[in-house]
Every structure is written in C-alpha cells, then in structure tokens.
Amino acid sequence: MEVIETKIDTSSQEYRENYQAMEAMVEDLRKEVELARNDRSEKARARLDQQNKLTVRKRLELLFDRNTPFLEIAPLAARGMYDKKVHSAGVVSGIGIVEGREAIIHANDAMIKGGTIYPMGVKKGLRIQTIAMENHLPIINLVDSGGAYLPLQSEIFPDADDGGRIFYNQAVISKMGIPQICGVMGLCTAGAAYIPAMSDEVVHVKGTGAIFLGGPPLVLAATGEEVTADELGGANVHCRESGVSDYFAEDDAHCLEIIRQIVKNLPPPQKADIGIREPKPPIYDPKEIYGIVPRSLDITYDVREVIARMVDGSEFLEFKERYGPTLVCGWAYIHGYPVGILGNNGVLFSESSLKATQFIQLCDKRGIPLVFLQNITGYIVGKEYERIGITKDGHKMVNAVATATVPKFTVITGASFGAGNYGMCGRAYSPRFLWMWPNAQIGVMGGEQAAGVMITVKNDQLAREGKPPLPEEMVRQIREPIVAAAEREGNAYYSTANMWDDGILDPAKTRDVLGLAISAALNAPLRHDVYGYGTFRM
C-alpha cells in the first residue's frame, strides 16, 4: 500500500479558519457530554447516599477492567426532550472490557427520575440489544428503575418496537446463546422484573435491590396488603425462596465483583479471524482533520486527506482511482484491522455507483469490514443521467450495501441527504454502528433545496392556471420556515437526541472509535454461508 501524500497547507488562512470552526464545535460537544454526565440534583445525590448506592458511573468504574476504554453509545440521547433533564435517556450504555472480554452494558441512572423509563430509554434499550445480537456480545444489565414513566405509557407499552420488545429480544438472545447477566441494584418493578427473570444469571443486592411485578403501592391498592419493598421482593425473598436470583450481594461493590467473576467463568470468545496485523498510527496528526473539513457543506474537499489521518501509516490501496472519481474506494488498516473504505468526493454518478458495487462485493467475498465516510448530497439527477441509467446503477449500489454480510460502519462527516444516505449505508441499511461529526447534517435534502422545490412546484401550478409567479415576499415566506426547520431538525444534535446515530464524535477520535467497534464486531462470526446478492438490474 502507498502512503497518501497530503496536499494540505496547514499554514494557510483557510486551514486555520476551518480548524478554529471545528475546534469550537468539538468544545461545544465536550460541554454537552459533560452536562449529560454530571447535571444531577443535590436531592438525587443525597437520596443515593442515604440508600448506600453508588452512582452509575462509579458502578461502571468498578465493573470494567482498569485503564480500559469504554465506547459509550448515544450519550446525548433524549437531549432537549421531556423536561430537558432526562440525560442520556436515563441510561448509560456502551461497550466495555470486563475480565479481558468485550461486553455491552446497560445501566439505569437512578439519579434521573429514580431510573424511570422514558420512551427514548426504551429505544436505547432496544438499540443495545440489537448491538448485542449483531456482534454476539454478552449483555450486562445493571437495573435500578422505578419502571415505566406512567404519564407517557402510551409511548412505551403497546407497539412492536415498545417496551415489550425488550423481553421478546431477551428470549431471542437467550436462544442465540448470548450470555445475559443482571445486577439487581435497585427496584425492578412491573415489566422491569422480567429483565432479571429472563437473564441467565442474576446478582441481587441486599437491602436496595427488589424484584416484583407490582410494587407495595399497587399491592396495597389491589389486595389491601401492607408490605415493604424488601419483604415483597428483596434479596432474601428471591435468593432463598423464589429462586429468581442466583447470587446474594452485600452491597453494590460486592454485586459488581460477583458479575466480574461470572464473566470470567464464561467460555472464552471466539473472534473472527480477518488477518489482523500490528497497528501503527497515521503519519499525519488526526487533529488536522479540523482544518481539512470546510466550514460550509457547500464546499468540497478531498476525502483522501481525511483517510490519511485515520488509517494505519496513512497507507491506502485505492481501487479504480481514475474511474468514478466522485467516490473514493480502497483498502487500508485501522488499528491493525483490515477495512474497505468508501468515501464521498461529490455526488454519486453511474460510474461511482458501479465502482462501489464491485468494491463492496470484493470486500464481502474476502470478509473485509466496510467503513463508509458519508458526505453526500445524493445521486446525480437530470435527463441525460436518467437516460444513461443512474436509477438502475444506483440500485445496484444500494442492493450491495443492503445485502453485504460483513460488518459495516458509517461515519457521517458532512452532508447526508436523500438516497445518498441509503447508498452510503445510513441507519436503515444496518451498519453495526453509525456516528456523526458535529458539523454533519441529515435530511431528505438541504433546506435551500427543499425550499426551492416547493417554490418551483407552486410556480408551476400558478403557470398552469395562467397566473404570474410568486412575488418575492411570498417566496421569502415559503423559504424561511423551510430552511429554519431543516437547520433545526437536520443538525447532528437533533439526530443524536432521537438516536438516529450512536453518538457525535470528535473527528480526531474517529480512528480510535472505529478500532474499538471493529474489535467488538469480530465477536460474531463472518456469515459467508449467506454470501450473495439479489437481482442486479442490467
């Protein structure tokens, strides 16, 4: 592989201005993440102390191997929703190292509404289960929850992707042979009682952990029986009498130590072999990405410059370099793992779509994970391009992306509009993980383009009626709200709040995050037995 030779002038004014703009966005991101982690009331902290409980972050610190990374999933989920205090959707989730092996953790934050489950908390739980199933990762649930947030029960309970799906998935995960371990560290009320009941092994904390289908208030209302939470479903009840729980823990720290021993006792993971080599850093500083990415999505840049600061040794074997140049494809290594990279350098034409299709097939047949660096306004449009066949050529690319069986990873580094989102492996195309950069925007199309379409449609209607086109004031009245809505609902923070992605990344840390994610994905076997594609329209 050849080293990518950079053409970036790091002393130029354009580079410095780009760098400052991205640096400011990354600083804003850091502040948002810190707020989500630490914005808790003194009342909630005092209550936790009174109950002799550890904070959710301290629990994770004791659970994970020391000095190992934690890949947090959706840390800004539910940002700005509800009363703007349900940080991270009330749950801390992610992939960490426990006794030397990767596991996915889902832990209620009892300092947020007592661990009560909001609709976005359900969505996050389902996302974590999907990650576990796709990557064959053991799940560790640290439950400390008052159950569903009842004022929003209609958004939590009845549908196929609501709370009941959590328990359905637990049954499927069990059938798949993926370990499920539960720490009962607080209340497991109503539906939440099924989380430990459907786990393989349950550790129950004395005094604070309690499992019951109906809590003391419901029991009193339904039967007139007065009973405490501990008498109803505490550790003694379920470890000595019902058999729901398997291990008795004296306190939080003891619970977490038992969980670590359970994980240590699991059969060793069998990771897929994809030809790993000794990793080495890029020869260029990853923070230089700040100065490479333009301040406006309207300005293009060479994605090879980003690749050079992301891959091992800045080495890249480019595929079909001179054909379909608006899409860059090629092979590289990230933290020692071989990858096939697809990065946008403009709109997708027939040639770039066909190149992508062939490249994806090659990577899929060879068992090489795919990385999509998405900065795309869409596929080319127009009479001549339709005549050439952009629709069927774009279909081939979308087909290949959808049916590729190797792990796929997507980073939205800029624009993500229209069918370009699909072709470059957007959320609907099941990448194992998808992240955004702070500058990214997502939507059917950009705000200005959407406004232009609406104005054109209206003017065409007026023309058919024999009327003059819209006056400038009415054009402005149409354009401004459409553009404002696109900016509000298409930015990275709106996306991540709604969990359309797995989090917003500091561009300089993208390489490390991809390395962690690829490693986690290799816990699942490569599915060559189902290699193949649907019909390609010729």
pLDDT band at 214 (very low <50, low <70, confident <90, very high): confident
Per-residue pLDDT tens digits for 67-107:
999 999 999 999 999 999 999 999 999 999 999 999 999 99
- The strand pairing partners of 337, in sequence order, are 334
Helix, strand and coil in the chain, % to nearest 5: 45, 20, 35
Q: What single-letter amino acid sits at 325?
A: P
Name the amino acid, one letter, at 26.
Answer: V
| Distance of alpha carbon 142 from alpha carbon 181, whole angstroms | 9
Contact in structure between 459 and 470 (CB atoms under 8 Å): yes
How far apart CA 211 and CA 244 sit, in angstroms, is 9
The pLDDT tens digits of the residues spanning 41-61 come to 999 999 999 999 999 999 999
* DSSP assigned state of 136: T
Q: What is the mean pLDDT of residues 275-293?
A: 97
Distance of CA 491 to the CA centre of its chain: 16
Confidence tier at 204 by pLDDT (50, 70, 90):
very high
Q: Strand pairing partners for 343?
A: 328, 373
Q: Using CA atoms, how far apart are residues 464 and 461, in angstroms rounded to an integer?
A: 5
pLDDT tens column, 387-431 = 999 999 999 999 999 999 999 999 999 999 989 999 999 999 999
Question: Is there a contact between 242 and 269 (Cβ–Cβ < 8 Å)?
Answer: no
CA distances, 140 to each of 43, 211, 243 (Å): 28, 17, 20
Is the pTM higher than 0.85? yes
Nearest to 197 by CA among 158, 245, 235: 245
**pLDDT tens digits, 344-353:** 999 999 999 9
| pLDDT band at 189; cut points 50, 70, 90 | confident
pLDDT at 218: 85
Beta bridge partners of 72: 94
In the block, residue with structure tokens 């003391």: 216
Kindly tell me if the per-residue pLDDT of 538 is higher than 80: no
* pLDDT one-digit tens code per residue, 105-147: 999 999 999 999 999 999 999 999 999 999 999 999 999 998 8
Over residues 449-462, the pLDDT tens digits come to 888 888 999 989 98
Which pLDDT value is given to residue 529?
Answer: 61
Q: In which band, very low, low, confident or very high, does the pLDDT at 254 lie, cut at 50, 70 and 90?
A: very high
